[in-house]
Each structure stands twice: as structure tokens, then as C-alpha cells.
Amino acid sequence: MTDIDQRAVNMIRGIAMDGPNAARSGHQGTAMALAPLAHVLFTRVMTYDAEAPTWPDRDRFLLSGGHASILQYALLYMAGFGLTLDDLREFRQWGSPTPGHPEVGHTAGVEATTGPLGQGIGNIVGMAIAEEQLRSRFGADLFDHHVFATCGDGDLSEGVSHEAASLAGHLGLGRIVLCYDDNHITIDGPTEIALTDNAPERFRAYGWHVEELGEVGDDLDALEAGVRRAMAVTDKPSLVVVRTHIGTPSPDSHDTPAAHGYSIFDDEIAATKTAMGIPADQTFYVDDEVLEMYRRAGTRGRAAREAWEARLESFSGDRAALDACLNATGVEGWADTLPTWTPGESVATRKASNAALQALLPVVPGLTGGGADLTGNTGTTMKDVGTFSPADRSGRQIYFGVREHGMGAIANGMALHGGAIPVIGTFLVFSDYMRGAVRVAALSNAHTIFVWSHDSVGVGEDGPTHQPVEQLAALRAIPNLRVIRPADANETAAAWRLMIEASGPSALILTRQGVPVLEGTSAAGVADGAYAVSDPDGASVTLVGTGSEVSLCVAAAKKLADSGIIARVVSFPCWEQFEEKSSEQQAAVLRPDLPSLAVEAGVSMGWHRWVDDVVSIDRFGASAPGARVMDELGMNADHIIDHVMQLLAPSN
């Protein structure tokens, strides 16, 4: 290790202590232990250009253990990504670009929002899939990079890491270099109190290449050599195991559980800095020579980036498809390919969704994905585009296996990498298994499309374990997640247009059973979030439905008309889109001057914000044919009419 390397590592460790100390909050020990490895990656190994942090062919770096964020912020400052010393001083403060865990889109150079442990491991698998697909489809001249990440025992303990690592090994994703910070310490105590896994053997069993480097946490040359050996393995993902000592070289906190958090205070910080040979009386200290060295490292990739831009300019392949992939959209006129259906047909919206998806595949070239062993059931089958596998890296159909949580984290990684619009499917009731990834998608504004079918007790005989009732409300509670429950096939096609055009994640909620194609449904109405399907003069009540229940509202309105009661019918496919409308626009749709009744085959939670009363299912379902369950639990026109009559009664 050269003198300047040693000083750089020491200064990173100084910042790793100073940031949390200034905030009186944060995680010092992991950042200190990983400083040498991170230094090697940022100054010797990775290809990137800090002046162009979103250059598509850059190497990616993730901290799966996002609690060590001060380490990444120190590196981003030193390498010239735009952070300042004042930003480091504002670590974990309101409005700062240095929040407690890394947030993509908030801080230049941060590739993914990490914090919930294990999510980053799923993300790097998705990023590696996206890189492989782009390289195969558009050539290694344009896409030829690696994905690097650090992780700890917490990441490897979380179930999502098992799911993601298993699929990565099966697919042979050789562009992954995952560095395992093997420090033998957890918050509760030594790892051995709860964990005796043999991580290297576990990953070998998954089909990974494993480099066990041993006690080389401070040996830069050994770290670099191990990482480069991993990079040379092209047919397997690699795990690089490094035995580190949390909190090193602090005299009292190293190798202690306390070092997992904020435990190194003023006196110990000063003693540690003195031992490292950096000024004990200065905070966030980086000398000019080290900073200059890092700024050179930060722009070392400029020539590679400029050469890439020249190759892009002379690219002779399908430039329209390439641009559409990189911009996460379709080629010109893509929306015109969406299918339409004739009113009166009966079509399950999951089948309509697959027809729309199939129509979009040739014109939205970034669409890729599949299901968690439910590909055909959820309408996420992709015909004529190949299957992604070790033998075919250009394939766009991905079989995730029964790995819902891993699938969600992987899809987010694909979206955040760029070049792909991931589409993933399972049953709505199993959205519970992947909620962590869905929440992170919303936090990340990832352009991930979640397709959840079998959306109600209409699932039938499988019974309450498979019949969702509370999931819609739970998903609508997640900020920045667009939840769309289309009423019929034409609304479903419109939902696909909205999901491609809009930013951020979307959840498409689909029926297993056939539902009628209705008169009056519209693409513009879906984009608005809610609209009147039927708006006759002289109405005395408004019926509001989503999904399959819109047709029940239409049927109820016809019966009410026979009794001389005129009812409006509103389809309300997406609360989040409707929330963006002005109060005047909302009033024009919902007509607050009239009593209103919502109908949805799920819990009533949230509906009273919009309407006066709700026909809902505030209980678990039952095992029986779907139509019988729906009818027994009040999802029928007669039950709707009973509620309307109560609303219109003089006492109301």
C-alpha cells in the first residue's frame, strides 16, 4: 500500500466517524471496516465518470447494507460526483443530499435506494440481467460493464437474498461481484448467537464462484487481486468473502456490536485519528493530495465514456429500439398497436392484459419479465421474444420461479439499471410476500410494472388463503405507487398505455374470471383515474366501482331505472391518478351533490374519503365456486340496490 493510499483510507475512516458524530446518529463501524475495499473499487477497479454519473455503460456500485451510507458519501465527495464537505456535515439532516440510507435520484452516484437488508442483492441481480440483455441485443461495444456491491450478514440472513442469489446462480450472471463483509458482528452480538451458516458453501451450492480472501481487510493489493479474479469469471456470479473488523482501527469499539451504530464519540474519534496520523482537531479532513488523486480517479473513465459516445453515434443497428430501451418507452406510434374489444364480449382482464402486452412487445422493446411460477396464470407470458437463459441472453421472457420477494427486488434493479421496463406477475394475495420490494420501488420511483391477477374472492375454490380482500387497501397506502384496477378489457389496454407513459411503479390488478366489455369505458378516463361511464340526466345517486364491480354497478343501475331511480355509474380504476386532479374536476366526476355508493370486492378502508357508503367485503372469503362466493358476500346487483335504497331513504 502506498502512502497516499493509506492516507486516503484513513481519511475515509475519519469521515465515517465524523458524519455520524455530527448527526449524533448513524453507523460508523461498517463504513470504517469497508474503507479499504471501497477505496480499491473506486480508484483501481471500476470504470465510471463522475462528471457523467448516468452514463449507461458505467460500472455500478451498491451498498446493499445501506446503513453504511457515510462510506458511499465520502467516496462520492472525493471522486467529484458533486457532494461537498458541507453536504457531509449535514449528514442525516433535513433536505440534505446525504440521507441516512442511500436514495437513488436524490444523490448523484447512488444507483439504488438501499436500506432494507437484502434488497440490494436483488437489485444487482436485476442490473446484471439488464446488462446481459442489452449486450446481447445491441452489442458489447455499447454494453460491457460489471455490477459491484457490498453486503453483510444481515443482507445474507434476509430471505430475499436467498431468492435472488439462487436465481443469479441458475442464470450464470457473470457480471456480478458481490463483496461479503464477513465481520462476525451483529447488533445483538456476535453472529454466532443466531447464525452458523457457511456462506461460501451456500453460494457455491447456488452455482456462484467464491473467492475466500481471509484476513485481508486492510491489504489493498490482495483485495484488488481477489476482485479481479472474480471479474474474470464470466459464466457465474462471484462472491468475494473478506474477513473484516467492524470499527477498525478504533481502540475501544472495533469488533464490538456497538460499532454497528453510533458508538465512537469525540475522545475515541480523536484517539483513532491520532493513531491513523490525521489531524485529531479537524473534522471531515481530506488533504489536497488525496483529493486530487481521487478527482483523477473520478474522471479516469472520461476517455472510455467519450469513446462509448462515439460508438453510439456510429451504431448501425436498430437505433430506434435502442433509444426506446434507454428511455423506457416505445418506438414512434407504439400506443396505436394496443388492442380494442367490442362491448358485450366477456374477457378476463388478465387475458386482456396479456393481449395488450403481446401487442406492445415489438414496439416497446424494453419490456421484459415474467411470473413467479404463475406466468400463464397472470398474463405475463411473452411469446416470440425468447427466454432469458445462459444460452440466450437476448430473451425477454424471464422465469423467476417461486420467488416473489426476490422477483420484486430483481425487477427494481432492472428498472434502475436502465434499458428495461420490467413486468412481473403473481396473484394479488401474494403481493404480501413482495411488499418490501414494492415499497422500495415506490421510494426509488423505479419504472417497475407489477401485475397482480386473481384480484378478489372471485378466485373461488382455493379459499381465503388465496382470496385477497385487504391487499388493495394495503397497496393504495403506499405513496408513489399507482394502483390500477381496470373495469374491462378496454380499460386494461388503457392501463398499459398509462403504465408505459408514466414514471414510477405501477400495480395492475386483474380478474381471473371473465367480465363484460362495457359501453362507455375510455382510455382518457383511465388516465384521469375516475370518470362517468354512464351519466344520465336527472340522476339521484352515483354508483362507483372498480374492476369487476363496475359491471355490477351497471347492472344495478339498469334495475334501478326500472323502478324509476336514475343512477350514474363511475368507473374509478386509479385513486392515485384521480388525486392529481383539481377539486373541481373531482367534483364533476363524483358529484358531491348526490349520495354516492362505492362497490368493491375488498375491504372498505379508504373509500369513505370519496363516497358516502360502501358495499365491500370486510372479512375473509370462503372456499366455493367464485360466483357463489361473490354472491354470498354481497357482490351482486340486488345487494347494491338495497344499499342505494338505504341511502335514498328520507332519514338519510
Same domain for 287 and 404: no
pLDDT of 380 strictly over 90: yes
- The 3-state secondary structure of 466-493, one letter per residue: CCCCCHHHHHHCCCCCEEECCCCHHHHH
Give 518's DSSP letter.
P
Looking at the whole model, is its pTM more than 0.85? yes
Backbone dihedral region for residue 552 (phi beyond 0: left; psi -120 to 50: alpha; all else: beta): alpha
- The 3-state secondary structure of 93-137, one letter per residue: CCCCCCCCCCCCCCCCCCCCCCCCCCHHHHHHHHHHHHHHHHHHH
Q: In the numeric block, which cell numbers belong to residue 208? A: 456462484
Residue 318 counted as domain residue: no
Same domain for 354 and 294: no
Backbone dihedral region for residue 626 (phi beyond 0: left; psi -120 to 50: alpha; all else: beta): alpha
Over residues 35-49, mean pLDDT? 98
CA distance 452 to 439: 15
Same domain for 361 and 506: yes
Which run of H or E residues covers position 460? Answer: none
CA distance 253 to 255: 6
Over residues 395-412, mean pLDDT? 98
CATH number at residue 553: 3.40.50.920
pLDDT of residue 122: 98
Domain boundary (516, 543, 565) is at 516
Percent of residues, the chain, with pLDDT higher than 70: 100
- Residue 78 dihedral angles phi and psi, to the nearest 5°: -65, -35
**Contact of 549 with 601, CB cutoff 8 Å:** yes
Over residues 91-98, mean pLDDT? 98
Same domain for 89 and 157: yes
Same domain for 105 and 38: yes
Residue 316 neighbours by CB under 8 Å, 6+ apart: none
**Contact of 485 with 573, CB cutoff 8 Å:** yes
pLDDT digits (tens, 9 = 90+) for 120-157: 999 999 999 999 999 999 999 999 999 999 999 999 99
What is the DSSP code string of 521-570? --HHHHHHS-EEEE--TT--EEEEE-TTHHHHHHHHHHHHHHTT--EEEE
Over residues 399-415, mean pLDDT? 98
- What is the span of the domain harbouring residue 210? 3-305
C-alpha angle 492-495-498 in degrees, rounded to nearest 5: 160
Residue 314 counted as domain residue: no
What angle do helix axes 29-40 and 69-79 make, rounded to 10 degrees?
Answer: 40
Same domain for 126 and 20: yes
CATH number at residue 210: 3.40.50.970
Q: Dihedral sign, CA of 434, 438, 440, 441? A: positive
CA distance 176 to 237: 5
Same domain for 611 and 476: no
How many Å separate Cα 324 from the centre of its chain?
20
Same domain for 507 and 412: yes
**Contact of 143 with 418, CB cutoff 8 Å:** no
Over residues 259-274, mean pLDDT? 94
- Residue 598 dihedral angles phi and psi, to the nearest 5°: -95, 150
Q: How confident is the model at residue 189 (pLDDT cuts 50, 70, 90)?
A: confident
Residue 160 counted as domain residue: yes
pLDDT of residue 97: 98
Q: How confident is the model at residue 186 (pLDDT cuts 50, 70, 90)?
A: confident
**Contact of 598 with 572, CB cutoff 8 Å:** yes
Which run of H or E residues covers position 355? Answer: helix 349-360
pLDDT of 193 strictly over 70: yes
pLDDT digits (tens, 9 = 90+) for 417-442: 999 999 999 999 999 999 999 999 99
- The tally of domains found in the chain comes to 3
Same domain for 126 and 24: yes
pLDDT digits (tens, 9 = 90+) for 598-614: 999 999 999 999 999 99
Residue 326: exposure state from Cβ atoms within 10 A (0-12, 13-18, ≥19): middle
CB atoms within 10 A of CB 289: 12
Active site residue 404: yes
Residue 301 counted as domain residue: yes
Beta-bridge mates of residue 210: 239
Give 42's DSSP letter.
I
C-alpha angle 50-29-224 in degrees, rounded to nearest 5: 50
Same domain for 495 and 347: yes
CA trace torsion 581, 582, 588, 593 (10° rounding): 120
pLDDT of 652 strictly over 60: no
Domain boundary (256, 288, 305) is at 305
Calculate the alpha carbon distances from 30 to 88, 242, 248, 405, 550 in Å: 17, 13, 9, 26, 53
Residue 310 counted as domain residue: no
Residue 326 counted as domain residue: no
> What length does the chain have?
652
Residue 375 counted as domain residue: yes
Max Cα–Cα distance, the chain, nearest Å: 90
Domain boundary (305, 324, 344) is at 305
pLDDT of residue 185: 86
Same domain for 224 and 192: yes
Residue 542 neighbours by CB under 8 Å, 6+ apart: 567, 568, 569, 570, 590, 591, 594, 595, 596, 597, 611
Residue 311 counted as domain residue: no
CA distance 229 to 324: 35
Same domain for 512 and 539: no
Catalytic residue among 404, 491, 549, 600: 404
Helix, strand, coil distribution of the chain in percent, nearest 5? 45, 15, 40
Average pLDDT, rounded, for the chain: 97
Beta-bridge mates of residue 458: none
CA distance 194 to 188: 9
